[in-house]
């Protein structure tokens, strides 16, 4: 069987999405379940979902599935019926986006990985199914009122920067596998305390809760369905949202607003702002926070160097990118001084990276 992938260019796919008139649902779902042949299941799902014009980013592994998708409303019932008919995913819960018009993805990406969440855990005795206790929005809010409770954000630093629960410990990490040891160290000596964990959709804190139990912590709890489901329950039940700001999401929207609170600042001028962008220089694409004034001033770029490169003719930009490493020294300096000032040794080899204008 040939490799099932979408060969149409990114630009053309985005243009098609802009012109689409159909309505779509943006959903996410995951499940830890033993899958015998992820590669075969991947091809089966890809063929059917491609036929239904589904988009998204889905990872399959021997330990389960992790999916963020955009599904046409006209095919939604067929999509659910097909998924639930598979023994692996019977009645897997869906989390629906808080906002957006469904145009969150522009193509279908379905990959097989070693794990659906890279955790760096190699211990064969660790059981990810032995999770902590689930808490819904109401119970989570009640637990937050206990001054002895310890709240842990199991997301990356750029996610917690724009939105978080009150008094949460937010690890200064780029990946989930980096966060786990930081959290264990932070909780050292607090094995008897009540621990609350949360993440975007629940998948990371579910595994993290099992890991904390494995490490000897006794009262481990995590937010069911993550921030996405929390926001839905808060709205439906007229509860106070103890999560403030923007929930960072890994699709074209980048973030969905939960409350009007702005917790971060523009990385270029320091004014209140929580809009993440990617540098418009295709040789960089640094993720950072940029206000509308700086977006106009810098043409959507992170540095003057990138602004100059992005203004070059497209063919010249492509020629320059051949064999180059993304993010030159100036971009890295901005990243460390404005985004991550406490990480002095972010990249040991930064002096080897070159961008010349």
Q: How far apart are CA 95 and CA 229, in angstroms?
A: 6
Q: Are 219 and 196 in contact (CB under 8 A)?
A: no
The sign one gets for the Cα dihedral 27, 163, 288, 174 is negative
Q: How far apart are CA 33 and CA 63, in angstroms?
A: 5
199 is catalytic: yes
Q: How far apart are CA 153 and CA 205, in angstroms?
A: 8
Q: Are 172 and 342 in contact (CB under 8 A)?
A: yes
Q: How far apart are CA 88 and CA 35, in angstroms?
A: 7
| Token pair recorded at residue 20 | 């689409």
| Token pair recorded at residue 168 | 């949460």
75 half-sphere exposure, CB direction, 13 A CA radius = 18
Q: DSSP letters of 240-296?
A: ---EEEEEE-SSTT-EEESSS----B-TTT--B---EEE-S-TTT--EEE--HHHHH
Catalytic site residue from 170, 199, 266, 306: 199
Element (H, E) at 156: none
The sign one gets for the Cα dihedral 47, 54, 252, 318 is positive
CA-based nearest residue to 231, from 294, 319, 163 = 163
173 half-sphere exposure, CB direction, 13 A CA radius = 17
Strands 55-61 and 64-72: antiparallel
3-state secondary structure of 109: strand
Q: Are 219 and 192 in contact (CB under 8 A)?
A: yes
| Residues with a known catalytic role | 199
């Amino acid at each position: 069987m040939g490799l099932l992938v979408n060969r149409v260019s990114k630009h053309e796919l985005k243009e098609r999405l802009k012109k689409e008139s159909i309505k779509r649902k943006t959903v996410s779902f995951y499940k830890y379940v033993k899958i015998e042949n992820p590669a075969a299941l991947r091809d089966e799902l890809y063929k059917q979902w491609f036929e239904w014009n589904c988009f998204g980013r889905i990872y399959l592994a021997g330990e389960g599935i992790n999916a963020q998708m955009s599904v046409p409303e006209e095919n939604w019932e067929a999509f659910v019926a097909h998924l639930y008919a598979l023994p692996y995913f019977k009645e897997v819960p869906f989390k629906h986006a808080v906002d957006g018009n469904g145009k969150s993805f522009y193509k279908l990406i379905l990959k097989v990985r070693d794990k659906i969440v890279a955790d760096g855990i190699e211990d064969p005795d660790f059981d990810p199914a032995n999770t902590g206790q689930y808490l819904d929005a109401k119970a989570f809010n009640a637990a937050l009122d206990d001054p002895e409770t310890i709240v842990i954000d199991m997301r990356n630093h750029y996610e917690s920067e724009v939105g978080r629960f009150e008094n949460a410990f937010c690890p200064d990490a780029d990946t989930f596998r980096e966060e786990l040891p930081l959290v264990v160290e932070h909780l050292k000596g607090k094995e008897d305390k009540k621990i609350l964990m949360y993440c975007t959709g629940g998948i990371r804190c579910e595994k993290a809760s099992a890991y904390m139990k494995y490490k000897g912590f006794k009262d481990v709890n995590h937010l069911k369905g993550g921030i996405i489901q929390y926001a839905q329950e808060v709205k439906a039940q007229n509860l106070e949202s103890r999560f403030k700001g923007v929930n960072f999401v890994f699709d074209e929207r980048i973030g969905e607003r939960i409350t009007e609170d702005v917790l971060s600042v523009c990385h270029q001028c320091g004014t209140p702002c929580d809009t993440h962008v990617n540098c418009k220089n295709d040789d960089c694409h640094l993720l950072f926070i940029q206000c509308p004034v700086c977006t106009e001033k810098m043409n959507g770029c992170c540095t003057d160097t990138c602004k100059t490169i992005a203004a070059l003719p497209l063919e010249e930009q492509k020629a320059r990118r051949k064999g180059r490493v993304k993010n030159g020294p100036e971009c890295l300096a901005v990243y460390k001084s404005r985004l991550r000032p406490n990480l002095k040794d972010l990249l040991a080899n930064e002096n080897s990276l070159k961008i010349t204008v």
